[in-house]
Amino acid sequence: MSLTLPSGLDIRAPLAPGFEEILSPEALALVAKLHRAFESRRQELLKTRVARQAKIDAGEMPDFLPETKQVRDGDWKIAPLPAALHCRRAEITGPVERKMIINALNSGADSYMSDFEDSNTPNWFNQIQGQINLFEAVRGTISLEQKGKSYKLNDKVATLLVRPRGWHLDEKHVLVDGQRVSGGIFDFALFFFHNAKEQLARGAGPYFYLPKMESHLEARLWNDIFVMAQDALGIPRGTIKATVLVETVLATFEMEEILYELRDHSAGLNAGRWDYIFSCIKKFKRNSDFCLAERSKITMEVPFMRSYALALVQACHKRGAPAIGGMSALIPIKSDPVANEKAIAGIRHDKKRDANDGFDGGWVAHPGLVSVAMEEFKAVLGDRPNQWEKQRDEVFAPKDWLNFVPEAPITEAGLRNNINVGIHYLGSWLAGNGCVPIHNLMEDAATAEISRSQVWQWIRSPKGKLEDGRKVTAELVRALIPEELAKVKATVTAAGEATASYEQAAGIFETMSTADDFAEFLTLPLYEALQ
């Protein structure tokens, strides 16, 4: 199969049947147009991240930006939202896999975030087949025959939102003028080109989630991309609406500025808790005073997470924007009624807290949890679709977001769990599955990042000691890896899966957790090995 490609654009990947419809000359021309206009800015912003990290490594702590004080003090609101985005009490998330898309849209959730990023292994097939799946979903034609069952869409489905990849990720298979394109621009442009007008004709619109931004300037880049893309298709400016995931600690200091930059295209903010925890570890990994307890102890109730969540609600409602709560990793446990009851109780607690705090909705990772989340938000909101009118009057300061406790416990069981989850997730990711139930929790790239970054930091921090007094060392980690690998292989073998990728994953986990240099994202080196 061959494609007619725009001048200067090259695709270095195989073309499966149907790919030519997504990779049309007109759609790829939009990719090339956006790349040529904005790639230099993306690269500059990535350099700014590196420079800012160097300052933090040298001891500088983040604070509010003096140059944007007028934005924080100003009297402004985001643009009015379309009716399709007024009610988002229960949002379900998942990868762009066909069965997941059908089940999520049919789940009874108000909206569904279909993910090209953390819950998706971004190999070439997944990215393009995911676009095909969404193309059919937008038109109501998506279906699946699997194991004697038929899957198709109901008459009433959730509102679709799409998450493209973050600024740090390239699409290595597509080059423009010899240069890789941004994964985020690639994902956005293809979906927008093929579906925006169809969505508008059906009473919705092109709605997105934007991940892993660290500053308002990164939000400004997205806004400028939206303007150019809408102009290119002859769609009114402001038609695109995007929710920003506040999942980096630096973005917390610029939440109002981010809303301002996207004010004509904003659909609010989301408290992306798992990436947020990873961001805190990553940003302060070389600070000898910083050391978090094992992952299970870092809940939404600890001070730095609690203040971040409440500040997000405050910023959103001050500016007339939705505030969406993040996702508990708990999932239903069909094989154990007692454990399942405990998991459901945990979900209820999570959503009840968020609803009472002022969030307008929250995420779940499984269709079986939609009704639970919906019940808890309806208990607070009643018949209202949201609670945008609820204002919070706390005064938050940097000390609140930088109050990194608890520092203990760090147990051998917690260390082993990080190693086990890291190996298991990496092995599944390499095999093409970016969203994996492990130990009755739904794991994605963000939770795997916590696992490997905590181990890296515990090795180097003077506070990285187990409860019994032993220091976490590279030697200890290397000794535990074969034991945890054996457990992972036994688990996946029992599930009928191949184990080759898990051997590779164990080696990768060892390298990434014990090397002197810290890899900014585990997906960056892994992506180079993907087809």
Summarize pLDDT for 34-84 with one digit per residue, the tens. Answer: 999 999 999 999 999 999 999 999 999 999 999 999 999 999 999 999 999
CB-based contact 311:391 (threshold 8 Å): no
Q: Which two tokens stand for residue 382?
A: 């009643």
Residue 1 in this model has a pLDDT that exceeds 70? no
Rounded to 5 degrees, what angle do the CA atoms 6, 7, 13 make? 60
Domain with CATH 1.20.1220.12 in the chain: 409-527
C-alpha distances in angstroms, 375 versus 109, 327, 352, 362, 369? 11, 16, 9, 12, 10
User: Taking the alpha carbons of 514, 519, 520, 523 in that order, is the dihedral positive or negative?
Assistant: negative
- Rounded CA-CA distance 394/373 in Å is 26
- Rounded CA-CA distance 498/504 in Å is 12
More confident residue, 531 or 528: 528
Residue 488 in this model has a pLDDT that exceeds 70? yes
Query: Averaged over 205-224, what is the pLDDT?
Result: 98
Q: What is the CA radius of gyration of the chain?
A: 22
| DSSP label of 389 | T
CB-based contact 21:161 (threshold 8 Å): no
Query: Averaged over 304-309, what is the pLDDT?
Result: 98
Is residue 529 very low, low, confident or very high in pLDDT (cuts 50, 70, 90)? Answer: confident
- Rounded CA-CA distance 424/76 in Å is 47
Residue 531 in this model has a pLDDT that exceeds 80? no
Query: Averaged over 145-172, what is the pLDDT?
Result: 96
Burial class (CB in 10 A: 0-12, 13-18, 19+), 74: exposed
Residue 159 in this model has a pLDDT that exceeds 80? yes
From 163, 273, 295, 452, active-site residue:
163
From 263, 360, 444, 452, active-site residue:
444
CATH number assigned to the domain covering 409-527: 1.20.1220.12
Nearest to 453 by CA among 399, 520, 376, 393: 520
Domain with CATH 3.20.20.360 in the chain: 11-399
CATH class of residue range 11-399: alpha beta
Is residue 530 very low, low, confident or very high in pLDDT (cuts 50, 70, 90)? Answer: confident
- Rounded CA-CA distance 311/354 in Å is 12
- Rounded CA-CA distance 262/253 in Å is 16
72 counts as catalytic: no
Q: Look up the pTM and report it.
A: 0.97
Nearest to 75 by CA among 228, 231, 201, 260: 260
Nearest to 283 by CA among 412, 459, 404: 404
Q: What is the pLDDT of residues 334-378, one digit of tens each?
A: 889 999 999 999 999 999 999 999 999 999 999 999 999 999 999
CB-based contact 181:35 (threshold 8 Å): yes
User: Taking the alpha carbons of 273, 515, 406, 314 in that order, is the dihedral positive or negative?
Assistant: negative
163 counts as catalytic: yes
Name the least confident of 243-257, 314-328, 432-446.
Answer: 432-446
Share of the chain above pLDDT 90, in %: 93
